[in-house]
Amino acid sequence: MTASLDGTITAPSVEMTNEKQPSVQQPSRRQTIAIMLVACSANFLTIYASGAVTIALPTIAAEFDIQESQLQWVISAYALTFAGFLLILGRLADIYGQKKIFILGMIWFAVWSIVCGLMHNIIGLDIARALQGMGAAASGPSAAGMLGKYFHGRPVARNRAFSIFGATNPIGFVAGMFIGGVFTQTIGWRWVFHLCGIVSMLVVLLAVFGISRDEIHPDIDRRVDWIGAILGTVGIVLLTYAVSAGNTDGWGSPQIIISFILSVLLLVGFIVYEHRCPYALLPLSLFKRPGFGAIVLVLFSVQWTFGGTYLFHLTLAFQKVYNMSPIVTALHLSPLTIMGAIAALFSAYMILNFQRPKLAISGCMLLMAVAAGLFAFVHVDTSYWRVIFPSELIVIIGYELVYNYANILVQTSVGPHQQSLASGVFATTAQIANGIGLAVETTVSSAVNNSQAPNGGPDLLMGYRVAMLVAGGLQFAGVIFSAIFIPRDMPEEEGSDSIDGLVGSPSELVVAPTEPAMEVPALARRMSGRSSEKVAEEGGVVLNEIKPGV
């Protein structure tokens, strides 16, 4: 039995079951740094692509000589394909290897990022953005899946990894807005996309040479649920289209009504088919895991409030009411980036030392409700430092802690070979929540402002305040929901993929032969004074079951 410098414990050769088992991937410092850089960079870029484009929209409208209402598809086309293809691409990553799908997705993302910057009409830009979103849908769940699989069985390292990974969300969006503002006012908005493509190719090179090859479970069911994929993907795409276009085309327009009806029928058909399919794209057994369904609904709620309401309307207030330039707007949003990073890193410590998700999530949703409520006191002459700044700090702390608790709960509820699928469910929920939240809240704010602020200006704050109050009310409802349905304690991590096409028992030891066998008494003496949890946290192997006579 040996111990490496990075804390890895290699167990001796022990006769176990006769079933073929994959060897345990041993952690190393170089591999850990590489996988963290690759995963976090990819997540940063996919979020950056939304933030940077948002700030450049007025300039794009002026160059293409189009109405602002036509700009929505620059954002919506990306969100539509991003949300629509997450599940199937997450499943393919689990089947064929997360590294393979990640690299292909990032190459696709890089190519279409460059193409976006070369477009000279709005239709071409919309199409390129939709294709760019498909690349994000491939790289996103693959990146999270690589993290979940690599750190599986090491809760301390896993919590830190996913907290850092989660920190790239607010950092990516606000950094994207700042970079987009600088580029738009200097070298041009096209470099927003060119930079994204160039950096994406650097991430591809790091993934190719820095991450070890995929290790796929030998007994994984490689059948692909293409019928479920079509039903789910088309249903999500139509739903995303309907909620995105409803504000501009009119909620009562034929295309919106038909899209809503078809999306509901397809998604109901998807659920029915998944219940009967033995190799379902989305195994419904996932929702039988403790708290899985509840945490998905909680994520939907907080994403609606933060991404679909708070960030959007705060940006509008800065630009349309306070007449801030893109760069100044990004600077006023920078507390979200700084505090978001701090809160995300702190969440790793909190999740490890305060394993009471019911209390933590309920409390953080209450913080988000308070932050949204503070916006009701914002007027034209309100001091940024007295109201808006504290609101930004409170909302990002609540959001980051809930997001990371939810992410850890989802990842620990599945085995190592379903990590990308779980990440796909997580990301799909977030994307749909953004779209629906944005559609509903902009409808609310527009309805108020059309009657109360027809000429725009400072009176626009009236509609923004109402939208914020609606979001705050949703969070208050979420507090009650979380107190009832979220598990009191953190669930135990799934040790293997024993369901949904995978075999194996979490009680079976899986070790690769390394040294001549050590007698069990000697092994016990060396392990004395160290809990199995501590060994697992350090990257070691816990001997859960040793056959008699070994």
pLDDT tens, residue by residue, 145-184: 888 778 877 777 877 888 888 778 778 887 888 888 888 8
Give me the chain's average pLDDT, please.
Answer: 77
Q: Lowest mean pLDDT of 68-72, 75-79, 114-118, 269-273, name the range.
A: 68-72
Whether 184 and 162 map to the same domain: the answer is yes
In a domain, 532, yes or no: no
Model pLDDT, residue 539: 43
Across the range 77-98, mean pLDDT stands at 83
In a domain, 540, yes or no: no
Whether 253 and 316 map to the same domain: the answer is no
Across the range 217-240, mean pLDDT stands at 80
Whether 371 and 457 map to the same domain: the answer is yes
Whether 291 and 146 map to the same domain: the answer is yes
Task: Output the CA–CA distances (angstroms, integers) from residue 116 to 60, 180, 245, in the order listed.
Answer: 12, 14, 21
Q: How far apart are CA 33 and CA 353, in angstroms?
A: 24
Q: How far apart are CA 54 and CA 66, in angstroms?
A: 16
Structure tokens given for 192: 């927003």
Last residue of a domain, one of 276, 301, 318: 276
Whether 104 and 240 map to the same domain: the answer is no
**CB count, 10 Å around CB of 355?**
16
Q: How far apart are CA 356 and CA 369, in angstroms?
A: 20
Model pLDDT, residue 417: 66
**Is 10 strand, coil or helix?**
strand
Last residue of a domain, one of 469, 485, 501: 485
Whether 309 and 252 map to the same domain: the answer is no
In a domain, 166, yes or no: yes
Model pLDDT, residue 114: 94
| pLDDT at residue 531 tops 60 | no
Residue % of the chain over a pLDDT of 70: 80
Provide the domain limits for residue 98.
29-225+277-485
* Type of residue numbered 222: R
| pLDDT at residue 498 tops 70 | no
Last residue of a domain, one of 462, 485, 508: 485
CATH code of the domain containing 308 = 1.20.1250.20
pLDDT tens digits, 375-396 = 888 888 888 898 999 999 999 9
Model pLDDT, residue 324: 85
Model pLDDT, residue 218: 64
In a domain, 543, yes or no: no
**In the chain, how many domains are there?**
2
Whether 288 and 272 map to the same domain: the answer is no
In a domain, 321, yes or no: yes
Model pLDDT, residue 414: 67
In a domain, 535, yes or no: no
Whether 33 and 165 map to the same domain: the answer is yes
Whether 126 and 113 map to the same domain: the answer is yes
Whether 107 and 166 map to the same domain: the answer is yes
Whether 246 and 201 map to the same domain: the answer is no
Model pLDDT, residue 521: 41
Model pLDDT, residue 391: 92
Whether 181 and 242 map to the same domain: the answer is no
The whole model's pTM is what? 0.73
